[in-house]
Amino acid sequence: MKKKVAVIGANGQLGTDICLGFKGTGARVIELNHDDIEISDIDSVEEAINRIGSPDVMINTAAMHHVGNCENEPLKSFQVNGIGARNLALVCVAHDILLVHISTDYVFDGEKNSPYIETDRPCPLNVYGNTKLSGEYFIESTAEKYYILRVSGIYGKKPCRAKGKNFVQTMLNLAREKKEIRVVDDETLTPTFTEDIASQIVKLIGCNPEFGLYHMTAEGSCSWYEFAREIFSITKSDIILNRASPGEFAGNVRRPKYCVLENKHLNDLNLNIMSRWKDGLREYLKK
């Protein structure tokens, strides 16, 4: 019997590809967006489950993830990223639903300077990271069947609802508009194509391994400058790319300088199918 999978944030950057990934397996996919469910309101979550009938799997991609907005509205951020995760966990327990929750590399402070594994101690630097970590803790202490998946530097075919264009599209637009640009070279990340994450989630749930926390990013790492350089190299863009000075584009939000995750839990179970970040970028640009 095919699984019934409900995806919260189905029209978002990651949610769109998750829906497509599960539809490709023949699963019955229930798409839930903000008009259908408000995760910060437990009554709304319960009503949505009763309306659609209990799914086998609930995948939550919804979050308040604009870092600047989170800093300016910490209570709202906590209500969505923290209490929202708790609400989902409580309802999933009541209806015996597997909860899959998307978290972030921003739960770390970036001081390690080598890839973080799932057992490393979190230490968020900002409101966004703190509220996402609180969501993880609520799920771990409440849910019985769950996967918490930390992702990093994601980009996809569908624009991010909160941020608009992704970094790749922004760079391509700048290449058309300008002759020369500057990009920061002192922040290290792992750019990850959302389609690859969706494929990995499908595989994870299909294999039904041990519940818990998983890192789920592309392999390898780069700075934002190196990411931009690879984008322009693949697309043969005619633009001069320069390294920005440290702190040149500093905002009012503290961000980790090193955001690289190692998919250790996936590797330990021989389930890791995440591609190298350059390969994911080429696939995205091809599509």
- CATH label of the domain that carries residue 273: 3.40.50.720
| Pairing mode, strands 188-189 and 57-60 | unpaired
Model pTM score: 0.94
Q: What is the pLDDT of residues 207-245, one digit of tens each?
A: 888 999 999 999 999 999 999 999 999 999 888 998 887
Mean pLDDT of 34-54: 95
In a domain, 271, yes or no: yes
Beta partners for 259?
189
Domain count, the chain: 1
In a domain, 169, yes or no: no
- The whole-number pLDDT of residue 245 equals 76
In a domain, 124, yes or no: yes
In a domain, 166, yes or no: no
Residue type present at position 159:
P
Instruction: Give the separation between CA 231 and CA 235, rounded to whole angstroms.
Output: 6
Q: Mean pLDDT of all residues in the chain?
A: 93
Mean pLDDT of 112-129: 95
Model confidence at 185: pLDDT above 70 = yes
CA torsion sign for 82, 96, 217, 201 is negative
In a domain, 235, yes or no: no
Angstrom CA distances, 219 to 71, 113, 153, 279, stand at 30, 16, 12, 10
In the chain, the percentage of residues whose pLDDT exceeds 90 is 79
In the chain, the percentage of residues whose pLDDT exceeds 70 is 97
Which residue range(s) make up the domain with 54?
4-157+187-222+253-286
- The whole-number pLDDT of residue 252 equals 79
Model confidence at 160: pLDDT above 80 = no
Model confidence at 174: pLDDT above 70 = yes
In a domain, 237, yes or no: no
- The whole-number pLDDT of residue 142 equals 96
Place of tokens 């771990």: 140
In a domain, 174, yes or no: no
In a domain, 263, yes or no: yes
Model confidence at 273: pLDDT above 90 = yes
Least confident of 28-32, 66-70, 118-122, 196-200: 66-70
Mean pLDDT of 183-194: 92
Model confidence at 68: pLDDT above 60 = yes
